[in-house]
Amino acid sequence: MSTNGRRVVVTGMGLVSPCGHTVEESWKNISAGVSGIARIAAFDVSAYDSQIGGEVKGFDPERHMDKKEARRADRSVQFAFAAAAGAMAGIEGSGFDADRFGAIIGSGIGGITTFEQQHTVLMEKGPSRISPFFIPMMISDMSAGQLSIRYGLKGPNFGTVSACASGGHAICDAYMYVKHGFADMMLAGGTEATISPMALGGFCSMKALSTRNDAPERASRPFDRDRDGFVMAEGCGLVVLEELGHARRRGAAILAELAGIGLTGDAYHITSPAPGGAGAVNAMRMAIATAGLEPGAVDYINAHGTSTAYNDKTEADAIGTVFGPESAVKVSSTKSVHGHMLGAAAAIEFIVCVSAMRDGLIPPTMNLDNPDPECSLNHVANAAERRGLRAVMSNSFGFGGHNVCLLLRRFEE
């Protein structure tokens, strides 16, 4: 199991988001600044302070799984099946070694919608009426489990749970299994379906959400002076990571190279980042170092950029520390159009970074009308910017002090 010279590349991507049901549809809208945020339609939100979200609209799980499977799967798992169809396109049936192909899929909250529905059954009809599928539908590892069954993947298989860093941790773990020879291919990413009465109410009670209900598409405004909270969203992003030699032997199209990762903990607070973004600083430096690069080689950062007052400022401070106050590195947060998909956010933004590098197009931070002077960065604001990209970074930070940075490099021989 030699790991000498093993390089990890991206050979498949699948995405379901408020901006589209595929990678290309979502990327087209995200790069054009077309918002997927609207008034929540899934349930009555009139009693909530925040009434807006990034819902996946018009989603039909039966396009990707049969009716019985769909009925026995939480919405987060249904999203994972849809995203996997895109990520595995051209791979399924290609004769891969199932014992060396695994799946790691993160979720910050898992099957909370199923939990709420079955709790209502308990209260109204009693314990005997709880579905026998309640537990396997609810638990956070089930996307990885279900997809391993669907595609016959017998390599490393589990879920990651680290709040808004969950999808990033899944990709990091998958990278390490491929890099160190425990697998040749990994399906990895994150999925989340948390637009539910309980989840919305909980985040409202925290005063974490935007209440700009009269203009949903203007509500998420990372790094803007007038930001007032994040916008909750749902979706799934999955990628296939593969050892370079293995990808070459099967003639795979190589989309990018995952060259570096950084993982740290703040050890500070359950929700607030460490002052000055110390954990984020260390994670970014680790990603750059493992990629064998210098900070000046990074062309673009897809920021965590949640549109909350303290998080945006702290991330801006951290970027300034790593790259310097006058750095040329471009920064944007696409949460301005697709919202914050919590455990799926890191994986979806990773796919955005691959797409940006492929097309030489940096997606904008929309609604950045009045940049906060305390978030002084080289912003790409309100319109995409054409630029050749050789190295891009995706930042994700979660409640509990979890920090993940993923550094992608344009693939070169």
**Residue 82 corresponds to which amino acid?**
A
In angstroms, the CA 210 to CA 106 distance is 25
In contact, 259 and 408? CB cutoff 8 Å: yes
Active-site position among 21, 64, 169, 304: 304
For the question of residue 304 being annotated catalytic, the response is yes
For the question of residue 119 being annotated catalytic, the response is no
Q: What are phi and psi of 410, to 5 degrees?
A: -60, 130
Active-site position among 169, 340, 379, 402: 340
For the question of residue 164 being annotated catalytic, the response is yes
In angstroms, the CA 179 to CA 341 distance is 28
Active-site position among 164, 204, 236, 353: 164
Enumerate the active-site residues.
164, 304, 340
